[in-house]
Amino acid sequence: MTKTHESDVAFIKALAELLRENDLSELEVSREYGEDDALNVRVARQMTAAPAPVYHAAPAAPAAAPAPAAASAAPQEDPAQDPGAVTSPMVGTAYMSSEPGSAPFVQVGDTVSEGQTIMIVEAMKTMNQIPSPRAGTVKRILVEDGAAVEFGAPLVILG
């Protein structure tokens, strides 16, 4: 910011309030005033996680044999760590189609090409198309239509 504008303080306060009201963790905005005069603001807050509940197991009766599913159950892996994960580039609301009632951009099993729109993330009343970073097949869709997403949240798994 090369000049101080009186409205900047009010603008930053409004961004902080928007962050709090919508339970967002981060918000970044650029404001252009003219040539060589702009305001770039990043407002973030530290989200504190609630302490995990502590459960005490009651003594169980001995089982005759472990269930087959329990013996082969593997811990759930984090979808964000999947090499085919497409993550959200911003905080916003995910939409699966261009408008309510229309066909979704992609469904599980669809083949997508690099650059093809797979969904939209709305941020600050702007619809941002999310392109496929590579060609592949949609293995999983991890968000629901109209769901809030955070920066870096996995949206889709491509195979």
Q: Is residue 72 part of a domain?
A: no
**pLDDT band for position 23 (cuts 50, 70, 90):** confident
One domain, residues 90 and 154? yes
Instruction: Look at the chain and count its residues.
Output: 159
Q: Domain of 32?
A: 6-44
Which H helix or E strand runs over 50? Answer: none
Is pLDDT of 56 > 60? no
Encode pLDDT of 70-101 as tens digits: 444 445 677 767 888 999 999 999 999 988 88
Any idea what the CATH number is for the domain that residue 139 is in?
2.40.50.100
Q: Is residue 59 part of a domain?
A: no
Q: Is residue 69 part of a domain?
A: no
Q: Is residue 53 part of a domain?
A: no
Higher pLDDT, 133 or 33: 133
**pLDDT band for position 52 (cuts 50, 70, 90):** low
CA nearest to 13, candidates 33, 27, 25, 34: 27
One domain, residues 30 and 84? no
Report pLDDT for 27. Answer: 73
